[in-house]
Structure 1
Amino acid sequence: MAKENKTKPETKSVAAFLAEVEPAGRADEGRVLADLFTRASGQEPVMWGPSIIGFGTYHYRYESGHEGDSPRVGFSPRKAKLVCYLKLDSVGAAPLLARLGKHGTGKGCLYINKLSDIDLSVLEELVADSYQAMAEAYPK
């Protein structure tokens, strides 16, 4: 029996989720990111699981047979760091990351301590690049 994905679209509103984020400054940053990701992706935000705000959807299937849906781009305003879920191996990502400001990366994750550490216009370009790269990698 296939395992059900834990991260799936939820009915809770993004506004209600952000109202509960602590500390309040992190919630404010979450609202800034929600607006930025909406502009960059052209998609409305949707809660995925209890703490990820996603934009757009794609369907994946691994060689193992495991498959599911996931947001094309997204973020989570976590207490320790802001985590952006992006396609960081796209052709356009490296030069943008070099201009972004203070950040860390992991596989598909961009870690930001606080928004004042980065250039928001560069982040918006990075989100748009990532969304487009995901649309090309996973067409409908």
Structure 2
Amino acid sequence: MAEIKTKPTEISPAEFIEAVENPVRREDAKTVCAMMARITGEPPKMWGPSIIGFGSYHYKYGSGHEGDMCRLGFSPRKAQIVLYILTEDPGQSDQLARLGKHKNGKSCLYINKLADVDMAVLEEMTRDALAHMNAKYPA
């Protein structure tokens, strides 16, 4: 079985954020980092080379594949900020409708800049995602 590449590292999240080239994305990353730290009560930790995560959980699939991952996280990429906060909760459809300009995948929320979204809705979604993770993967 292949080794999991997304695992905690000793890279400094603050230094990683300071190295983000786009000044708007860099400031947005600082805002998201502070929000997630406040909501989770956990310090930021780098997971792999580009994900800033908060907390952790252990998962195991029916296939036998298992590992550890951050409970919540984000990555300030060149094109957008990616937030790992989407769950299978049907209530998220309403939140996404109220959020503002974004794109989404199965578990990823893509935002060009925080000015495009309603921060109160983003915080609500982040709190709900943490509650979902805590229920699904109790500490």
TM normalised by structure 1 equals: 0.93
Identity of aligned residues (%): 51
Given the two structures, how large is their TM-score scaled by the length of structure 2?
0.94
Q: Secondary structure at the match of 1:60?
A: strand
1:131 equivalenced with 2:130 (yes/no) = yes
Q: Which residue of 2 aligns with 1:29?
A: 28
One-letter amino acid of the counterpart of residue 27, structure 1: R
More displaced 10-residue stretch of structure 1: 49-58 or 93-102: 93-102
Determine if the alignment matches structure 1 residue 45 to structure 2 residue 11.
Answer: no
Aligned-partner SS, 1:47: strand
CA shift for structure 1 position 91: 4.6
Structure 1: which 5+ residue stretches go unaligned? Answer: none
What SS does the aligned partner of 1:21 have? coil
Q: Is the 8 A contact 2:45 2:52 kept in 1?
A: yes
* Partner secondary structure for residue 30 of structure 1: helix
Structure-1 separation of matches of 2:41 and 2:89: 19
Map 1:1-140 → 2, pairs under 5 A: 2-140=1-139
Give 1:12 shift. 1.1
Asked if 1 retains the 8 angstrom alpha-carbon contact of 2:87 and 2:132, the reply is no
Question: How far apart, in 2, do the equivalents of 1:105 and 1:61 lie?
Answer: 25
Q: How many residues align?
A: 139
- Tell me the distance in 2 between the aligned counterparts of 1:53 and 1:92: 25
Taking the aligned partners of 1:71 and 1:14, their CA distance within structure 2 comes to 14
4+ aligned runs moved over 6 Å, structure 1: none
Partner of 1:68, secondary structure, is: strand
Match of 1:75, SS state, is strand
Could you say what secondary structure the match of 2:95 adopts?
A: helix
Q: SS where residue 33 of structure 1 aligns? A: helix
